[in-house]
Amino acid sequence: MTEEPSGQIAYRVVRLKPHGAAWFVVGPRGLLRSGLPEPTVAAARRKATGEFPDAVEVADLWPEFVRQLEDYFRGGRVTFKARLDWSRVTPFQRDVYRRLRRVPFGRTITYGALATAAGHPGAARGVGMAMKRNPFPPVVPCHRVKEAGGGLGGFSASGGIEQKKWLLAMESQSVSRH
């Protein structure tokens, strides 16, 4: 993977026709943030630089990760291999995110079941807050977490609950084709 220039924080915007533009930010220790598609490249740039205003845009940053993003948004069953920089998340969030990464493509888990699986039984609300603060979508697939009664729960990405529905439908359709 192409490294960020001189250890700086770098970002890249990835056009995903017809879905808009995804984005990600990389630091010396790995992926700092990633985002689901925004409607425009300009919106994706704003998201990428909002938390990291000094980040440098690098056109060829992490080409393998870009291929994985493109494959995923075409409905491919992708296991993201990006190195994640855990320095900006709490130990609880790290436990939850690591466990959530093991939920298979096209499957879902409830907030409570994820809390238990991550070693924090009874912490369903904490899992909900961790999903809201997830810095790594879709690498950490927060859209796969649902309410115990089968409801979708919330979704804080810019597309809101409609984007969550779309991601779940995309994965479901891909699973049924294979």
Angle at 67 between CA 164 and CA 165, to 5 degrees: 10
The Cα 39–Cα 144 span in angstroms is 22
* 77 included as an active-site residue: no
The answer to whether residues 38 and 158 touch, using CB atoms and an 8 Å cutoff, is: yes
E strand or H helix that includes residue 11: strand 10-16
Catalytic residue among 14, 82, 109, 142: 142
Q: Is 89 helix (H, G, I), strand (E, B) or coil?
A: coil
Query: Annotated catalytic sites, by residue?
Result: 142
